[in-house]
Structure 1
């Protein structure tokens, strides 16, 4: 093992120990409750769905939004899990674990970018999963303060750095899902159109 890997291992060990023992992170509430997030916006009409107790017990988020929106023939799922503080046992779960656990098999994964009014470029992970004859595209990322994150490793580092610098490590997991009917790119375009419409609204809900 070279010196660089040893240093990284030591830093991660210190980081892990810090997360287990630190007690000063403040819980940061949402600016507005997710119940106020619009069910109708432009051509989109949504419906809320409640997660069962087993799922919420596993995810351990403080607040969540779980919707299905329809615009003509386009159907989009929107899920946001918000963590007012991330502590050991109450941290964001990676979709790479949760989706396979629900029976989804990953077909492909890459990153993509959508440009959104008021926000500029937003990077996200573009994953395609299949379960039986169903195929869906999942566009997701993590948000801490004003930073969008597409890597689990980067998420852990930001969790540590924000706790040290700001005394907080609140975060949101944002995921949009679209059924793949014709092809993946068409589904991705639907996802991007939805993100352009809805992401500007999130600044009124997620903490800065």
Structure 2
């Protein structure tokens, strides 16, 4: 009888302790509330370097989810098409969420594009060297029915740290969680319709290098971790 009582008391203590730890470990403070307001639409200039918004473009940016789902996942979505003096077009898509807990995770191109019927041929990590610092990126080669070839460059940020998603993103989120903080995050993606991936990635790199210096420091930190 005494052993049963002791076991019951021990179990109760353990359950109470676990609940208390879970309460303490549950993040409650959103870091977005402590940072300058991020207005992506205003932060990204319509013209910079050799690039300007293509007002004649009919779109082309792939957002595989339904609008309602996108609005649930993200607090800001910016999609634009830019064109340079040679007529080369770059599609820009930025999806930002104020709460990057498990139920509100960013959706990656290697998952979203196949949902639209694309095939992902290659998916490689790389480091993008810019005059303002290095950005860890992913480069994907995709095509739709072997007709629309669309190389993609993207990265994600958690707070002010640029990542390529996966384990590195999860670890960054855990660090915030251990401090009781809820991180924000975004996915920065550019792509172009081009059968020659080498040319596409070179143009995309030029696009990023010309964009970054035009961003205000606070916005640049949130958009690219620099």
Please confirm whether the aligned pair reaches a TM-score higher than 0.5, indicating the same fold: yes
What whole-Å deviation, never above 9, does each CA across 1:58-104 have from its counterpart, x for those lacking one? 46111121111100221101111111112343221122211110111
Name the TM-score, length of structure 2 as normaliser: 0.72
State the secondary structure of the residue aligned to 1:92. Answer: coil
In 2 relative to 1, CA 25–63 (structure 1 residues): closer, same or farther, beyond 3 Å?
same
Unaligned 5+ segments in structure 2 are 1-21
Which residue matches 1:69?
Answer: 82
In the alignment, which residue of structure 2 is the partner of 1:13?
none
1:122 and 2:135 matched: yes
- Runs of 4+ aligned structure 1 residues displaced above 6 Å come to 48-53
**Aligned residue for 1:153?**
167
Cα deviation for residue 194 of structure 1 reads 0.5
TM-score, structure 1 as length reference:
0.78
Aligned pair count? 187
**Map of 1:96-107 to 2, 5 A cutoff?**
96-107=110-121
Q: Does 1:26 align with 2:19?
A: no
Higher share of residues assigned helix: 2
Change in 2 beyond 3 A, CA 1:27/1:63: farther
In the alignment, the residues of structure 1 paired with residue 31 and residue 159 of structure 2 have an alpha-carbon distance, to the nearest angstrom, of 13
Partners of 2:121 and 2:164 in 1: CA distance: 18
CA contact (8 A) 1:25 1:163 kept: no
Q: Please, what is the CA RMSD of the aligned residues?
A: 2.7
In the other structure, the counterpart of 2:181 is: 167
Q: Which has the higher strand share?
A: 1
How far is the alpha carbon of 1:44 from its aligned partner?
Answer: 0.8
